Amino acid sequence: MVRTPHGAVRGRYERGVAVFRGIPYAAPPVGPRRFRPPEPPEPWDGVREAARFGPTAPKPSYSEAFAQYLCDPAIPGDDCLNLNVWTPEPAPGARLPVLVWLHGGALTRGSSAVPVYDGRTFARDGVVCVSVNYRLGIEGYGLFPDAPPNPGLRDQLAALRWVHETIEVFGGDPDRITLGGQSAGAISAGVLLASPHTDGLIRRAVLQSGPPEVSERDKVRRMVRRMATRLKIPATAAAFAAVDRELLLRTQAEVGRLSSPVLGGPAFGIVVDGDLVPRDPLRALVDGDTAQGVDLLMGWTRDEYRLWLVPGGLLEHIDRLGAVAVAGAMARCHAGHEIPRGYRALRPDAGAAEIVGQMVTDHILRVPLHRLADARPATSHLYEFAWPSLRPGLGACHALELGFVFDSGDIPESQKLAGEGAPHGLCDEMHGAWVRFASTGDPGWESWNPTHPVRVFGDGAAYTAHGPRDAEYALWSVNPRTPPSRPASVPRAPGAELASAMRRLRRSVGARRR
């Protein structure tokens, strides 16, 4: 039993580790609290049982194409602003390092109950692990004239503050908190890192396949307006709050089905709000305005795009589209013709899908992380996950590394993406590096420097490569000290030809998905 500021909780021991599940860090976001910033939970009397995961945030289920690879449990209930704690020593005074984990899922799916994120392995190795639920989709990231923006991000901040104020009674050290996440969770962690509201809360950060970024407000508004049009309601928080939640989720899934990292399009995202997010977070971190001295562990998978394109056969479809798909990617990346020509020269045998996928991945993910490392070399460590899945066609795709980071590769939920027989040695290497980083700030290889060291986790023993992506970076003409919003050599807006190609690509992919 542990006493938190709002009441006592009783966890349970599982294989030598104490785990507390479903602890509320904020009040249920229902009624007048819906679409509003989080409020503290009501204190409770007696002892609250914390044996089971708490409710997950409302979300649509994955499509059949993605559900064969990804697991996303849905637990009903209103009290979805909860977290879980795994600790080897639930008592004050242990002062163990802490990892706070934010799940991915494009800010529309995912939860802390995904079995791959089992924090037992971190606690087994001396790190207190905390995983967090936060509001998703329209309720977490809708943009309305009658409600504050970014409530889902504010949920994460509330959880981080709860950890800082409470984790000592679970054996954690509030001065050694590592905030980590993958995909949308990494984007969120990077944005929080850049926020003035987190000063003193974060000692280290792990950004897996997601850079600090914000969305254009109009892009989020278009998502809200399209949902409002289908629902025949005003695009206000009050109107959305009156809609049946299941209908809301179905509408959200239908409106967002053509949005993806490759295709772009209207989608939910974090926006600059003048408060929690006062400016572009990547620029703030590169300029050194915030998070000075915070250690960074950042990286990507070799074939991120394959999770976005392989389900449903989109990879083969884009290969057939050929030049139209490449032109669409140019529009997506605001790129001139020299960019795809450069990728073609580096990959003369690649099909259109690989050119498109790697180009978009570099534009939205690798180049920003490279830029951030250039600005903070002494405290940055970079990695690439290059082991290919045993499932056909996936390669080293987006999210594949999670089972290795959490050393949960043997469970069925990890095998949905990795296949059966993932190498245990690779689990040991990656998980051990993350444990070392959370504990000391040094994952076990040299920090960023002019030789651009990247730790490669693939077949065989991990090794350090120097400048493995430098040829691609050079194509974008990025100046890390004054990062442009798009490559400096490219006009501000794509031409009519590229915009037309993007529209044709969307229509073609939309027809394929139907």
209-239 residue pLDDT tens: 999 999 999 999 999 999 999 999 999 999 9
Report CA torsion sign: 58, 232, 509, 485. negative
pLDDT at 187 over 70: yes
The type of residue at 335 is: A
Percent of the chain with pLDDT over 70: 93
* 3-state DSSP percent of the chain in helix, strand and coil, to 5: 40, 15, 45
Strands 453-457 vs 463-466: parallel, antiparallel or unpaired: antiparallel
Report long-range pairs for 494-501 (Cβ below 8 Å, ≥24 apart). Answer: 494/330, 494/331, 494/334, 494/335, 497/327, 498/327, 498/328, 498/330, 498/331, 499/331, 501/324, 501/327, 501/328, 501/330, 501/331
How far is Cα 506 from Cα 514, in angstroms, rounded to an integer? 12
Helix (H) or strand (E) holding 309: helix 305-309
What pLDDT, on a 0 to 100 scale, did the predictor assign at position 499? 52
As a whole number, mean pLDDT of residues 445-454 equals 98
pLDDT digits (tens, 9 = 90+) for 257-298: 878 888 788 899 999 999 999 999 999 999 998 999 999 999
The pTM for the full model equals 0.93
For 229-256, what is the mean pLDDT? 96
CA distance 221 to 491: 25
Q: What is the pLDDT of residue 496?
A: 52
Domains annotated on the chain, with CATH: 1-221+266-299 (3.40.50.1820), 302-514 (3.40.50.1820)
The model's pLDDT over 428-437, given as tens digits with 9 standing for 90+, comes to 999 999 999 9
d(CA 432, CA 437): 9
Strand, coil or helix: what is 383? strand
Q: Is the pLDDT of residue 491 over 50?
A: no
Of residues 139, 168, 304, 413, which has the active-site annotation?
Answer: 304
Gap between the Cα atoms of 302 and 305, Å rounded: 9
Residue whose C-alpha is closest to residue 431's, from 56, 129, 15, 162: 129
Cβ contact 125:158 at 8 Å: no
Q: Which of 111, 183, 414, 447 is catalytic?
A: 183
User: Which ranges of 347-411 does DSSP label H, i.e. alpha helix?
Assistant: 352-361, 367-375, 402-405
What does the pLDDT read at residue 264? 81
For residue range 14-31, what is the model confidence (pLDDT) as tens digits?
Answer: 999 999 999 999 999 999
Q: Work out the pLDDT band at 357, boundaries 50, 70, 90.
A: very high
Catalytic residue flag (residue 304): yes
What is the Cα–Cα distance from 161 to 171, expressed in whole angstroms? 16
Task: Read off the pLDDT of each residue in 119-146 and give the average, rounded to a whole number.
Answer: 98
User: Catalytic site residue 489?
Assistant: no
pLDDT digits (tens, 9 = 90+) for 46-67: 999 999 999 999 999 999 999 9
324 with 504: CB under 8 angstroms? Answer: yes
pLDDT at 222: 95
Average pLDDT along the chain = 92
Mean of pLDDT values over 75-97: 96
The two tokens of residue 67 are 């559900």
Identify the band that residue 479 occupies on the pLDDT scale cut at 50, 70 and 90. very low
Q: Determine the pLDDT at residue 265.
A: 82
Contact 184, 210 (CB under 8 A): yes
| Euclidean distance between CA atoms 456 and 441, whole angstroms | 18
CA geometry: angle 453, 455, 458, nearest 5 deg: 145
Is the confidence at residue 494, as pLDDT, over 60?
A: no
What pLDDT is attached to residue 504? 56
Averaged pLDDT for residues 193-216 = 97
Structure tokens at 361: 């991945």
